[in-house]
Amino acid sequence: MRDTPEQLESYLAGVWRRGDTIETELVDPVHGTVLATASARGLDLKAALDHARRTGGAALRALSFAERAKLIGAVADTLIANRAKYEAIAVANSGNTKIDAAIDIDGGIGTLKYYARLGAPLGNAKFLLDEKPVRLAKAENFQAIHLLTPCHGVAVHINAFNFPSWGLWEKAAVSLLAGVPVFAKPASSTAMLTHAMVRDVIAAKVLPEGALNLLCGSAGDLLDHVTGEDVIAFTGSSGTAAQIRRHPNILSRGVLVNVEADSVNAALLAPDVAAAQPVFDAFVKEVSREMTVKAGQKCTAIRRIFVPAERTDAVAEALLARLKKTTLGDPRREDVRMGPLVTRSQQAAAFDGIGQLAKEAEILTGGATAPAIDGIDPNKSAFAAPTLMRVADASSTHAVHDIEVFGPVATIIPYKSEAEAFALVARGGGSLVASVYGEDRGFFVRAVGEIGPGHGRLLMVESAIADTQTGHGIVMPQCNHGGPGRAGNGEELGGLHGLRFYHQRLAVQGSTDLLAELQAKAFALH
């Protein structure tokens, strides 16, 4: 890290550019020192978007899927070659432990590598064929096909503060494979890692000019200049998502917007699970891990813990025992297992949320005050202790289903019957993910039918996979990421399905000979 704050530049229209004055200070959440500054004031965002469309888009669309896949693989290789310095940035700017940093850094690299492999078999194709040809009239030589053709605009990616690497690359990997240039806008508070990675990729010259663009600082008038050919993928709060969707230019031009927003994700312990069973231990371990990894700052983290009423005490005792072993402190220390929240404003928001939940729930450990940590100044740092809460009467509780505390906070909620459990989970109003732990396959099947419509992903854990499953909070690029309702009604990743967002689904009607030529240039999805 530098002794003096670095001013993060934006990469726009093929040039590194510095904004006027200072908009944001990026701070070490352990010591409170300023690490860098960011500003986008005075930058010509209209010209930057035009350049990305004209130069980057044209260059990417001239390539086949397989050729774009090679570019994505080269991006991953560049990041791997520079990985050592990224960890130090994640620790300093985001307060990550080494494990937290690895989830973010390696998750981004791994997603790039996955889409590089996924794109290679698509070969020389430049379109995607969505369905087989269908006949439209008595004449057999007049038919129709549905093609997916790459958008001719820019993919504006507005990312959250908690995953400055993964959030960037999981969107960019899909967009680049689709042939649509990336215009990335990271959250300013943790933009150091995004900035370092993009700078390395640009320096390596592994992508065509205009294919990758970076805005460090506020969005300013960015949304004023998007067009109907562009798409926006946003990750963050539902409040900000609503502002984007209501923006006059977004509405008037019909810009396609994908949102991943708030989510009070659940973990459900099935009625058949006793405290002595291995799946019970797996449940407790996963909840504890989700509360403490990245200090609970994951959009997929478990917020609500549903357990049979008769198991409430056993679950609480087991969780308290595990959380007690979690060492808080400076993530630079090898013995520390949980670092701070990313900023003091996030700490204040977490404490406010805990206070609201505490009106209906009992605090078993932690709370809405900064923990005392040797060598750490609570007036400069952003720590919050793992906070486990418990609701006595699920029927009279509302806040726990409405308020997402973005930190190391989760609440135990008892249920008395299977029907009540499913109904309580559904009160989250739409979530990214829920986990179900048990051994009764019938219960799993019923859970899919009852709570599936309210989620983008369900993780079903029985003893046979308890030690091999990838985890509640880990987003795998093979699977859908998104959720209905308050979670944003969005979809990302999911293998080739993720490419759909960056394509126009087009019905082409014509002669069988013409359609055959088009099909020869397409990769069939089915």
**Residues 104, 215 within the same domain:** yes
Q: State how far the Cα of 240 lies from the Cα of 338, in Å rounded to an integer.
A: 28
Mean predicted confidence (pLDDT) in 207-214: 98
**Residues 196, 210 within the same domain:** yes
CB-count burial class (<10 Å; 0-12, 13-18, 19+) for 246: exposed
DSSP for 427-449?
TTSSEEEEEEE-S-HHHHHHHHH
- Domain contains 360: yes
Residue 201: what are its φ and ψ, rounded to 5°?
-65, -40
List, for residues 442-475, the tens digit of each pLDDT value. 999 999 999 999 999 999 999 999 999 999 999 9
**Residues 283, 165 within the same domain:** no
What are the angstrom distances between the C-alpha of 335 and each of 88, 328, 329?
Answer: 17, 9, 9
Q: State how far the Cα of 172 lies from the Cα of 156, in Å rounded to an integer.
A: 10
pLDDT at 1 over 60: no
The count of structural domains within the chain is: 2
Q: Positive or negative, the Cα torsion across 244, 247, 249, 251?
A: positive
pLDDT at 139 over 90: no
Q: How many CB atoms lie within 10 A of CB 3?
A: 4
Residue 396: pLDDT band (50, 70, 90) is confident
Q: State how far the Cα of 472 lies from the Cα of 83, in Å rounded to an integer.
A: 26
List, for residues 187-203, the tens digit of each pLDDT value. 999 999 999 999 999 99
Which of 9, 216, 299, 462 is catalytic? The answer is 299
Mapping DSSP to helix (H, G, I), strand (E, B) and coil, where does residue 234 land?
strand
Q: State how far the Cα of 503 lies from the Cα of 268, in Å rounded to an integer.
A: 37
- Domain contains 50: yes
- Domain contains 1: no
CATH classification at residue 283: 3.40.309.10
Mean predicted confidence (pLDDT) in 104-119: 98
Q: Which tokens is 374 given?
A: 């040797």
**Residues 109, 193 within the same domain:** yes
* pLDDT score, position 3: 63
**Residues 201, 321 within the same domain:** no
CATH classification at residue 56: 3.40.605.10
List, for residues 171-182, the tens digit of each pLDDT value. 999 999 999 999
**Residues 384, 347 within the same domain:** yes
| This prediction's pTM | 0.95
Domain that holds residue 412: 265-487
Residue 131: pLDDT band (50, 70, 90) is confident
Instruction: Say whether 479 is catalytic.
Output: no
List, for residues 13-57, the tens digit of each pLDDT value. 999 999 998 889 999 999 999 999 999 999 999 999 999 999 999
**Residues 162, 48 within the same domain:** yes
What are the angstrom distances between the C-alpha of 208 and each of 18, 61, 464?
Answer: 22, 11, 47
- Domain contains 330: yes
Instruction: Say whether 299 is catalytic.
Output: yes
Q: Which helix (H) or strand (E) holds 176?
A: helix 166-178
Mean predicted confidence (pLDDT) in 153-170: 97
- Domain contains 155: yes
Amino acid at 322: R
Q: State how far the Cα of 167 lies from the Cα of 294, in Å rounded to an integer.
A: 14
Which of 170, 260, 290, 492 is catalytic? The answer is 260
